[in-house]
Chain A
Amino acid sequence: MSKTTGNTRTGFYICHCGTNIAGTVDVEKVVDYVSKLPNVVVAKHYKYMCSDPGQEMIQKDIRDQNLNRLVVAACSPFLHERTFRNVASQAGLNQFFFQMVNTREQNAWVHLDALASTEKAIDLARSAIFRVAFHKPLEQKKVPIHPGVLVVGGGIAGIHASLTLANAGKKVFLVEREPTIGGHMAMFDKTFPTLDCAACILTPKMSSVKNHPNITMWTYSEIESVDGYVGNFKVNVKKKPRYIIEDLCVGCLDCIDACVYKEPRFFDEFNQGLSKRKPVYIPFPQATPQLVVIDPETCIDFKSNKCKKTCVDVCERKAIDLNQQPEHKEIEVGTIIVATGFKPFDASGVPYYGYGVYPNVYTALEVERLINASGPTSGEVVMRDGSRPEKIAIIHCVGSRDKNTNLWCSRVCCLYSLKLAHLLKEHTHADIYNFYIDIRTPGKMMEEFYYRMAEEGTKFIRGRVADIYPDLTDEVHRRLIVKAEDTLISEIIKVPVDMVVLSTGLEPRADANDVRRMFNITCSTEGFFIERHPKLAPVNTFTDGIFLAGCCQGPKDIPDTVAQAGAAAAEALALIDSGFIELEPNTAFVVEVDCSGCKSCVPLCPYSAISYQEDKKKAYINEALCKGCGTCVASCPSGSIKQNLFEDEEIYSEIDGILNYTNIYEVSECC
């Protein structure tokens, strides 16, 4: 084992974190023990080590006691490693002469036995003190940040983030999978609690995106691959063929009228199938961009090649190109904002609610379209059987707060149910019954909104609906019976209604796992992307330079989505405007004298950072390409590859420290 560098003078500090740590770990005992260890000059405990007085205390000790190593036992390094590195560097110490001991998240918070917890804290403190002696002064590598930003997803989150960045003068690439931007918000009729129309607040933003000189908008496009790292991402985008030459189409829609299908007859995605569209269509009148799309799945020409192609003939600008091929674009950006949104829960997942079986059972999103003035019925609430409802049941928590479907609360359903209750009452004057578990209305003006809705005469029944079935006794109305236990009066009640609205929850996108892998970010077991820290880094991911916005991170309403999108844009701006980022110096390097030139490391590197120098017969690691995993270090038979911050000596000394294997350690110190 090699010698430690110079005369080691270590300062050890353990944080109480209020009672978070000190409530379980006996911090005085730890300090008492540690102060007797070799090389330890100072050992202290303090209430809040990350506070100003705590930081100042450490800095004063570093100066006064001439400390050259620092160990802090506190929370997870993910939270405050950077804080204490700054403390070290401000006191004139190289910031990498520091080691953090995770004593809160991985100790005090997860153990009940104070004795065992203290023993663990001592083991890990000793381990860090042994380790830090081997630390070397390192410099962080600065890499420039490319000013371009990629925004993935053109819902309200992606739109807002793009506009914020573009207004700040940054080049933005907005990539949307669907033929139009707008996302789910474009489908809504009105928004709670203000009841302003969704289109009125969204469509101006959509056209700003379209017209902004700094935004390149690619709809009907998908990300194929992402390479590189913070500041320097290389992204491949595939533009799917819409069979329309975008530059020529003016959105006159003559081709739709001219289609050989006289009547629309295919499932209209935007209207949730409540209306039909033709193979050549525009998703909705305000679609942005104003371009038609030809659906190859339903177009006769793609199926049989025997269509008269009336659409091609009618287009004066010759904008229709049925032989269009996918286009592949490669772009370079420095930061990425992932705003891929959510998927509504599939209501047929709760079979006893009869969605898809009884025609008058609707999902909330279908009702949004039904009451929308530009929807399939022009805002008339006419049901699938042609009748108008006189009694309506709205069922909350469908696919939320249920062990059989999804455990989480989808956060928006209570409020949109109240909104739909109001709008349905306005449109139909029907009796409305809300079946709820709890009414959850946190947020500004939300509870007030609930009271207003209650005063309007909407009935609230506290109970989860158990069954929905047709009323066979009433031949005239052919109603559905909604059966539930009213838990406030402990009685089973059966309410006959004409229409049932299922307030479906929010789910992650079905392909969240693929997206996660592509961007090298993490997602929860459910599939929502995980932020770096739930409180202090809510839009960052564990991958530097990639940020989250909107419902892909978790269910949230429009104000929160917009706020988060703004925050993600601000984080991206902060990176871009600083011009460069400092990377962790944990890269690997070859000690050439020891390298035997066996080449076993070369094929191991997934980034092709290792090459073989034919002239010297030695391996060489390109520091710019190395991401610092250390796989090559572990595999080198001659031990000639070293990894900064994770050198073999550092890890062996950590093992020694944990196991208190001091005899060898002391021998190595003196010989």
Chain B
Amino acid sequence: MLLDENKSQSGSQGWQPKIIAFFCNWCTYTAADLAGVSRIKHAPNARVIRVMCSGRVDPQFILDSFAKGADGVLVGGCHPGDCHYQEGNYKCLRRFQLFKRVVESFGINKDRLRLEWISASEGDKVRLVINDMVAKVKALGPLSLPKKFSEWDKEMNIIEEKIAGKEEAVHA
């Protein structure tokens, strides 16, 4: 079963996607501040979590975000060669390439996970990236994994009960 299947769009009336954004302190977080200072308006759907370096972004953070209800995850770091810590962004990229395939294999659409290099001077790129990602995630609809998980749990419980009932009948 694909995690990203939306059987009906009916529950998504007036729905706004929530995107968790892990931004590195030195480039992308600063760029998001610059966007603010320059009053560059963009979609209000991203929630930024500041980390010192994109290399700090543990793939589990991303999985955890999806599992707890994020509709998209954005990771922002310094451009290759510009990392404040020399090569943390490269370590992030290496991990990300592999991890993206894992996420896709779970059936989560690849547009829900994105890695971008945004330097401290690229306030406008923050706008472009967030707006573009929000548009793409909106088109996909809600991911709402917590809801799906609880539904599957219920189905599993029913199945387990049925099996248990049959076993009891056999023993009887």
The segment out of A38-46, A452-460, A518-526 that lies at the interface is: A518-526
Q: Is A368 an interface residue (CB 8 A)?
A: no
Contact of B33 among A102, A111, A119, A523 (CB under 8 A): A102
Fill in one digit per residue for B16-58: 1 if any A CB lies within 8 Å of its CB, else 0: 1010100000110010110111011110110111111101111
Least CB distance from A6 to B in Å reads 25
- Structural contact, B47 and A658, CB atoms closer than 8 A: yes
Q: Is B91 an interface residue (CB 8 A)?
A: yes
The segment out of A199-207, A292-300, A329-337, A647-655 that lies at the interface is: A647-655
Q: Which residue of A lies closest to B40 (CB)?
A: A110
Least CB distance from B119 to A in Å reads 7
Q: A78-B30, A116-B44, A522-B120 are in contact. Are A627 and B68 (CB under 8 A)?
A: no
Fill in one digit per residue for A655-666: 1 if any B CB lies within 8 Å of its CB, else 0: 110111100100
- Structural contact, B65 and A655, CB atoms closer than 8 A: yes
- Structural contact, A629 and B120, CB atoms closer than 8 A: no
- Structural contact, A120 and B37, CB atoms closer than 8 A: no
Chain B residue contacts of A655, Cβ below 8 A? 20, 49, 61, 64-65, 68, 70
Q: Is A242 an interface residue (CB 8 A)?
A: no
Fill in one digit per residue for A523-545: 1 if any B CB lies within 8 Å of its CB, else 0: 11100001000100000001100
Q: Which residue of A lies closest to B36 (CB)?
A: A105
Chain A residue contacts of B91, Cβ below 8 A? 604, 631, 635
The segment out of B4-12, B80-88, B106-114, B158-166 that lies at the interface is: B80-88
Q: Is A630 an interface residue (CB 8 A)?
A: yes
Q: Is B95 an interface residue (CB 8 A)?
A: yes
Interface size class of B (residues with CB under 8 A): 35 or more
Least CB distance from B124 to A in Å reads 9
Least CB distance from B79 to A in Å reads 11
Chain A residue contacts of B92, Cβ below 8 A? 631
Q: Is A141 an interface residue (CB 8 A)?
A: no
Chain B residue contacts of A256, Cβ below 8 A? none
Q: Is A586 an interface residue (CB 8 A)?
A: yes
Q: Is B69 an interface residue (CB 8 A)?
A: yes
Q: A633-B56, A652-B61 are in contact. Are A120 and B69 (CB under 8 A)?
A: no
- Structural contact, A629 and B88, CB atoms closer than 8 A: yes
- A binding-site residues for B, Cβ under 8 Å: 76-78, 102, 104-107, 109-113, 116-117, 119-120, 123-124, 127, 517, 520, 522-525, 530, 534, 542-543, 586, 604, 606, 627-631, 633-635, 643, 646, 648, 651-652, 654-656, 658-661, 664
The 3 closest A-B pairs by CB, nearest first: A105-B36, A630-B56, A631-B55
Ordered by A's residue number, 19 sampled pairs between the chains whose C-beta atoms are within 8 Å are A105-B37, A112-B41, A123-B18, A124-B48, A517-B81, A520-B84, A522-B120, A534-B37, A629-B55, A630-B51, A630-B56, A634-B55, A635-B95, A643-B52, A651-B51, A655-B61, A656-B68, A660-B69, A661-B68
